[in-house]
Every structure is written in structure tokens, then in C-alpha cells.
Amino acid sequence: MTEAVTPPSPFDPPSLPPEEPGGGAGAITPADIRDGAAVALVVGVAGVLLGLLWVWLAPRVQYVSNGEAVFLRSTESEARIAADGTFFLLAVGLGVLSAVGTFLWRRAGGVPLVIGLAIGSLFAALVGWRLGLWLGPSSDLAAAAAKAGKGVPFDAPLELLAHGALLAWPMAAVLVHLGLTALWTPRDPDPAQVPWAGYYQPAPPKP
């Protein structure tokens, strides 16, 4: 006997083709991970540039010694705040540059790229901060005062009072990169419409 086959109902949803295993536009590949690691490495090394620029451009706070103690040369000086502002502006500028460079290198973006950019930017900010402290004036005030002499002004150590400025680079880099990706990355084409699996059946005539 031949088994009766029930025709599909017009109200049944269309059947979708099965997804390929491991596929999908959002799948992360080893190449994506390598790209993210490369971005983190390159951006992290760029922190050296931040340290050099900070030492060069940051205003100096000066001390003076009377032979017994060390005092600020000018109590009204805003150089300490200006040093933090200089670090912040440099970090934001380098964050924008690193985001643009990363986007031009890999326009497709992706989660590993953003993570690599964020990690590399945070490491770069830390490198720039510590390098600036190391290259700046000595933190040994007694030795610096003795070397300068009584009544002779000398530069105070470079300091970053607002440690929140360390987040300026990673925040600027990630936000700018996400903005560029959203504006300029081509959208994925719409999936092809699945043909309707059912058929139209006219309503039976009313008696």
C-alpha cells in the first residue's frame, strides 16, 4: 500500500536550510586572533612615544632649597595640573591615531581586534607613564637640592596625580575604532529569501 502524504499547510513556516558547522559571519578564526595580538603588540610598544612626548612637553614644577628644607618656588603654579593635562591630551591623540591605523589595516574589525586594541592601549599608557617618570627629573629631592645649591631653583620630579588619565588612550582608541567600523565598514548582504514551502489553497465554498 502506498502511504498517504499530507500536503504542507500554507500556514506552516518556510523551511530554512541547515547551517554549516563552524560557519557564520561572527565566527572567530585563528587569523582574527593573530591580528588582535599583533595590534596589541604594536600599540603597546607605541607607549614609548607617549613617555618621550610627555617628558618633552609637560610643564615643570620647580623647587628651591634654603639649605635646610625644600620648598615650592611658586605656590601658585599650576604646572602639576598642566602635567596631567598634557599626559591626557597626548594619550587621547595617540588613541585616535592608533584607532585610525588599526581600522585602515583591518577594515572588517572584529572582537579580537577591539580587544587587542584595548589591551595594547592600556599597556601603552602604563609604559608611557613609567617611562616619563624614569626619564624626567630625579625623585631624590635631597640630592637634587644639594646639586643645585642654596637658593637655586631645580626641577621637581614629573608626576601623574590623576591616575584616571591612564584610561584616556584605551577609551579613545576603542570608541573611535568602533565609530569608524560602524560608519565605514560595508554591511553584510541580506540573506537570500527562502522560497515559500507551502501552496495556496482556496477556501471551500460556503453551502
With cut-offs at 50, 70 and 90, classify the pLDDT of residue 2. low
Q: Is residue 161 part of a domain?
A: yes
Q: Is residue 31 part of a domain?
A: no
C-alpha cell at 117: 586594541
Q: Is residue 205 part of a domain?
A: no
User: CA torsion 116→122→127→128, rounded to 10°?
Assistant: 120
Q: Is residue 35 part of a domain?
A: no
> What are the pLDDT digits (tens) for 36-61?
999 999 999 999 999 999 999 988 87
Q: Find, among 35, 36, 16, 24, the residue nearest to 188 by Cα.
A: 24
Q: Is residue 36 part of a domain?
A: no
C-alpha cell at 206: 460556503
Give the domain range for residue 54: 42-183
Q: What is the mean pLDDT of the chain?
A: 79
With cut-offs at 50, 70 and 90, classify the pLDDT of residue 206. low
What is the rounded average pLDDT of the residues 127-148?
81
Q: Is residue 164 part of a domain?
A: yes
**Spatial contact of 64 and 152, defined as CB atoms under 8 Å apart:** yes
Q: Is residue 105 part of a domain?
A: yes
User: CA torsion 136→132→158→122, rounded to 10°?
Assistant: -170
Compute the residue count for the chain. 207
- What is the domain count for the chain? 1
Residue 32 to residue 112: CA distance in whole angstroms: 6
- Is residue 177 predicted with pLDDT exceeding 60? yes
DSSP 63-112: EEE-SS-EEES-TT--HHHHHHHHHHHHHHHHHHHHHHHHHHH-TT--HH
- Is residue 194 predicted with pLDDT exceeding 50? no
Q: Is residue 1 part of a domain?
A: no
